[in-house]
Amino acid sequence: MRLVLLGPPGAGKGTQGVLLAERYGIPQISTGDILRDHVQRGTRLGIQARSYMDRGEYVPDGVVVSMVMDRLEEPDADHGFILDGFPRTVAQAEALERALEETEEPLTAVLKFSVGGELAVRRLLGRYTCPTCGRTYHMEFKPPAEDEVCDVCGSTLERRADDDELTARRRLAVYREQASPLERFYAERDLLHQIDAEALPDEVVDRTMGVLEALP
Question: Which residues does the annotation mark as catalytic?
Answer: 13, 88, 127, 160, 171
- Which strands make up the sheet holding 109-114, listed edge to edge? 28-30, 81-84, 2-6, 109-114, 192-196
> If binding is defined by CB under 6 A, does position 86 make contact with ligand AMP?
yes
- Quick one: CA dihedral 72, 74, 77, 81, positive or negative? negative
The yes or no reply on residue 124 touching ligand AMP (CB under 6 A) is: no
* 32 near ligand AMP, judged by CB under 6 A: yes
Please report whether residue 28 would count as binding ligand AMP according to CB under 6 A. Answer: no
CB 168 within 8 A of CB 125: yes
User: Do 46 and 40 contact (CB within 8 A), yes or no?
Assistant: yes
Rounded least distance, CB 82 to ligand AMP, Å: 13
Instruction: Choose which of 38, 50, 88, 122 interacts with ligand AMP (CB under 6 A).
Output: 88
* Euclidean distance between CA atoms 170 and 6, whole angstroms: 17
- Residue 175 binding ligand AMP, by CB under 6 A: no
Non-local CB neighbours of 186 within 8 Å, separated by 6+ positions: 4, 6, 93, 110, 192
Residue (161 or 211) nearer to ligand AMP, CB: 161
Q: Does residue 27 touch ligand AMP according to CB under 6 A?
A: no
Interacting residue ranges for ligand AMP, rule: CB under 6 A? 9, 31-32, 35, 52-53, 56-59, 64, 85-86, 88, 92, 162, 171
